[in-house]
Amino acid sequence: MANHPEFQSSHEPERRPPGTARGKWPPSSRTGGRRSDLAVHGLGEQVRKEQGASHEPRTAGVPPAGSPSVSLGVGTGGETPPEPAAEDGCGTVALVHGPKVHPILGVETPHEPERRSGIQCADASGQPLPVFLAGPTAVGKSAVALALAETLGGEIISVDSMQVYRGLDLGTAKPTAAERARVPHHLLDVCDLRAAFDAAQFVRLAQRALAEIQARGRTPIFCGGTGLYFTAFLEGLGDAPPADEKLRAQLAATPPAELLAELRAQDPATYETIDRHNPRRVLRAVAVLRLTGRKYSEQRVAWAPAASLTDPDAPRFCFTRPADDLRQRINARVEAMFASGLVEETRRLLPQGLAENQNAMQAIGYRQVVEHLRGERGLAETIELVKARTRQFAKRQLTWFRRRGHWQWLELKPGETAGETLARIC
């Protein structure tokens, strides 16, 4: 691995060898009670032999004008269905079987005897197990999730604290309309730009989505980079005090340097690890100190056990890449975001309340573009700043996943396609 310690992982990749699956394929309603043709062809071996078409690292896109804010799947005519009434957008979707063409290789798939995947697909009762895919931004996890969902007959649950906001499209690398048409997605565009959204809301909506996907006999695939949301869902919510709006307003009016000084003096452990460029997190840490008299770092250690803890056999993969490769992918993604219109998107969102939403303004890219639009720096400098902030964010993501959860670590190679990654985990 390249010599960039901020991206290095102390975990070696860990995988079960092919053919050692402990589970079985669950009964599926998506193909009339039998497994889809796409799921029975010995995917890993065929990908290795044929080295199929690449799933390129995706760039952010905006759904076409007039499309609903919550895009969950496709109908039989290939059109995006109307927005369902459910507040989390996890409604019933019409599933498309599609032609018998391999989703990774792009070639016609012959009929072969059923083979098991290296991923355990069901529990003892036959209910589909969820799959968890995590990792830093730009690592390539979304492309793998799409390929896996098409292979297993799954649906993707986004684990991203910013993709929940309607309108934050380019800067969050939200799945494009075409990607949403390929595979049903959940927990995208569920929150108005002026509203707050937190881990408790995520857990509630994710549990609902999980139950609905499993009820359809399909595989839930959790994919994202928000470590707090993964931890809250898998381990339960921490016992933190409720928000005090009066204190929040008081702290918001305090100069950030004073809050950091207070945090450094009273909770040096949090001061060393917290994102000091994120005023919302600094404010929350100081608020916890004042409300409880206890250090924020101490309260974050103990997580309440979750009553609906996911089956421990559910596969959990955390992806990494060599440092130079990840750095180049981050830089390329940021440049693509700006080339696709991030400045224009941000300008359009300002009248909708973007600058007033402390949560949404933490999305890397938007805050820096808002500052650019206010004349604080030029465009070229803004682009380089967003690259730097994104690399720092990737470092924090890796740190979180190393410290929490029981992940199977998988380092992706430069140039590795989603199909090749899928062959390694299946």
Output the pLDDT for position 80: 34
pLDDT 10s digits, 300-336? 544 444 434 457 778 999 999 999 999 999 999 999 9
**Residue 220 phi, psi (nearest 5):** -75, 130
185 membership: H or E segment, kind and range: strand 185-186
> Do the two domains 5-237+304-325+405-425 and 245-299 of this chain adopt the same fold?
no
- Burial class of residue 128 (count of CB atoms within 10 Å of its CB; 0-12, 13-18, 19+): buried
pLDDT 10s digits, 340-388? 999 999 999 999 999 988 888 989 999 999 999 999 999 999 999 999 9
Contact 229/202 with Cβ under 8 angstroms?
A: yes
Q: Nearest-CA neighbor of 151 among 179, 128, 175, 117?
A: 117
- Burial class of residue 341 (count of CB atoms within 10 Å of its CB; 0-12, 13-18, 19+): middle
Output the pLDDT for position 178: 96
Output the pLDDT for position 272: 85
Q: Give the strand order in the sheet containing 316-320.
A: 185-186, 154-159, 219-224, 131-134, 316-320, 408-411
The one-character DSSP state at 158 is E
Task: Round to whole Å and give the CA distance between 124 and 225.
Answer: 29
pLDDT classification of 240: cutoffs 50, 70, 90 = low
Q: What's the pTM value of the predicted model, to 2 decimals?
A: 0.64
Four-way CATH pick for 5-237+304-325+405-425: 1.10.510.10, 3.40.50.1820, 3.65.10.10, 3.40.50.300:
3.40.50.300
Structure tokens given for 285:
């840490």
Output the pLDDT for position 37: 33
Structure tokens given for 387:
């690259």
Output the pLDDT for position 242: 62
Domain coordinates of the chain in residue numbers? 5-237+304-325+405-425, 245-299
The one-character DSSP state at 37 is G
Please tell me the class of the 245-299 domain. Answer: mainly alpha
Give the ranges where 36-120 is alpha helix by DSSP (H): 43-50
* pLDDT score of 402 more than 80: yes
pLDDT classification of 243: cutoffs 50, 70, 90 = low
> Mean of the pLDDT values across residues 277-292?
80
Q: Answer with the residue of higher pLDDT: 49 or 145.
A: 145
The angle, 0 to 180 degrees and rounded to 10, between the axes of the packed helices 323-340 and 379-403 is: 130
